[in-house]
Amino acid sequence: MGLRKLPKKGSRREVQLKIEYPTADKKQLRKWAKEFGFSSVTNFMSAVRDNLKLKRIRQAEVIDTDSEVVVNLPAITLNEYKGPRTGKGDEEVAVLLASDGHAGKITKSYDEDVYNMRMDELFNSLMTIITLHRHMYPIKKLVVLNLGDNIQGENPFQGSKIGTASMGARDQTVKIAFPAWVKLIGSLKQEFEEIEFHGFGGNHGHERLAPETSREDFRLYDLLQAYFTGLGNTKISIEIYEEFADIVRINGFKFFCFHGDGIPCQQGVPFFALDKKLKSWYMQCGGFSYACGGHFHKRHTDEVSSKFEYFMNASMVSDDSWALKKLGISSSPSQWVLGVHPRHGVTYRYPLIVDYKFLPEKLGSEK
């Protein structure tokens, strides 16, 4: 057993530990004890209690009142951002397209643990790209465009039958998606001077007869807004959009954001209807530079016309029978990251692979 040592104070690893520790299960506690060189879980927990002043709660504690739901996650300390040395090119803004996490969904290769693992890998993949591009120019600001369907919901007509969802819609939000997003945003704030989060509603976690604002996505955004506002002036803003779509301005360019559930498919193909709808929205909104949507669980990009470009986001889910039935194909689990230049608009665009087991196979060369 090595030297007993907790993560360095103020490090990203310490921030992650503070977020996860209060609700971690016994398996995770044993893993940490071994990682940090403690002879037992008890000794590790004592060190955390004495040095980090953290207390354990059995799960994310939910307090239900008549007017609100409060999730008792521990407050995290966000350190002052100190920008790394970068190249001298024009500063760009990074944009993370996030959607269709479907926390709580169960397939043969996807469950709550896999969701959390892939959310961690999303951070790693994003920072790999950002670190590479910072060799050329500064990137101080991250804009997160969350396009909805963060949880699976409990509607059987949307694939949430017995055995395909781990818990009810509310629990999917407060016990799975919310802690994962607090961890991701908190970790990213250590790497960026400013974070803008823009949240849009999806169609999962919402009944058709319920008000449009009664969506689990909005519950998630409300919780994130309350949590990070409570930390004080952190340069983390959470904006919530209750309409089906809206325009977000990034570095001087208009991004038209929507989920995509209103787009019909013809013989399993949404692209004809999508092309027509995007052009109508372009005229109705007085133009935009880029459009971003999700819903179809397929990674795709298209120059719709010489005026604007469209980015379709994939999903965090693998072995997704819905996408296979609807489109006949589904993407590897991934999300998009874009770079936005103040004059040239979107420059780089990369798929952020969150599980490398689903990459295309490398075929051997012919002899």
Q: Answer yes or no: is pLDDT of 10 > 60.
A: yes
Clarify whether residues 47 and 161 are in a common domain: no
From residue 13, alpha-carbon distances to 76, 179, 188, 220 in Å are 12, 16, 12, 24
How far apart are alpha carbons 63 and 70 in whole angstroms?
5
- Co-location of 227 and 112 in the same domain: yes
Residue 300, domain member (yes or no): yes
Helices (H) and strands (E) in the chain, counts: 9, 13
Q: Are strands 93-98 and 334-341 parallel, antiparallel or unpaired?
A: antiparallel
Per cent of the chain over pLDDT 90 is 56
Dump pLDDT digits (tens) for 264-286. 776 566 888 899 999 999 999 99
C-alpha to C-alpha distance for 80 and 119, rounded to whole angstroms: 24
C-alpha torsion sign, points 156, 159, 163, 166: negative
The count of other CB atoms within 10 Å of the CB of residue 126 is: 22
Give the number of other Cβ atoms within 10 Å of residue 207's Cβ: 12
Categorize the per-residue pLDDT at 67 as very low, low, confident or very high, splitting at 50, 70 and 90.
very low
For residues 42 and 140, state if they share a domain: no
Indicate whether 30 and 105 sit together in one domain. Answer: no
Quick one: 143 and 44 in the same domain?
no
- For residues 18 and 162, state if they share a domain: no
* pLDDT band at residue 365 under the 50/70/90 scheme: low
Q: Is residue 3 part of a domain?
A: no
Q: Is residue 343 part of a domain?
A: yes
- Which pLDDT score is estimated for 70? 54
The distance from CA 256 to its chain's CA centroid, rounded to whole angstroms, is 19
Q: Based on the number of CB atoms within 10 Å of its own CB, is 105 exposed (0-12), middle (13-18) or buried (19 or more)?
A: buried
Position 116 pLDDT exceeds 70: yes
In DSSP terms, 346 is beta-bridged to 340
Q: Is residue 59 included in any domain, yes or no?
A: no
Percent of the chain surpassing pLDDT 70: 90
CATH number at residue 327: 3.60.21.10
Tell me, rounded to whole angstroms, the distance of Cα 21 from its chain centroid.
21
Q: Are residues 342 and 215 located together in one domain of the fold?
A: yes
Q: 159 pLDDT exceeds 90? A: no
Q: Is residue 70 part of a domain?
A: no
105-109, 214-218, 313-317, 327-331: least confidently modelled range: 327-331
Report d(CA 33, CA 17) in Å as an integer.
Answer: 12
β-partners of residue 38 are none
| Domains of the chain: total | 2
pLDDT at 63 over 90: no
Compute the distance between CA of residue 275 and CA of residue 297 in angstroms, rounded to an integer. 17
> Quick one: 44 and 102 in the same domain?
no
pTM: 0.81
Examine residue 65 and state whether it is found in any structural domain, yes or no. no
Whether residue 21 lies inside any domain: the answer is: yes
Beta carbons of 205 and 178 less than 8 angstroms apart: no
Reading the block at residue 6, the tokens are 């907790």
Do 80 and 48 fall within a single domain?
Answer: no
Distance CA 218, CA 235 (A): 21
- Each residue's pLDDT tens digit, 135-153: 999 999 999 999 999 999 8
Residues 171 and 27 in one domain: no
Distance CA 294, CA 207 (A): 19
Q: How confident is the model at residue 43 (pLDDT cuts 50, 70, 90)?
A: confident
Q: Are residues 24 and 122 in the same domain?
A: no
Are residues 195 and 244 both part of a single domain?
Answer: yes
| Enclosing H/E stretch for 42 | helix 41-52
Q: How confident is the model at residue 320 (pLDDT cuts 50, 70, 90)?
A: confident
- How many C-beta neighbours within 10 Å does residue 254 have? 17
Domain that holds residue 109: 75-356
Residue 93 pLDDT > 80: yes
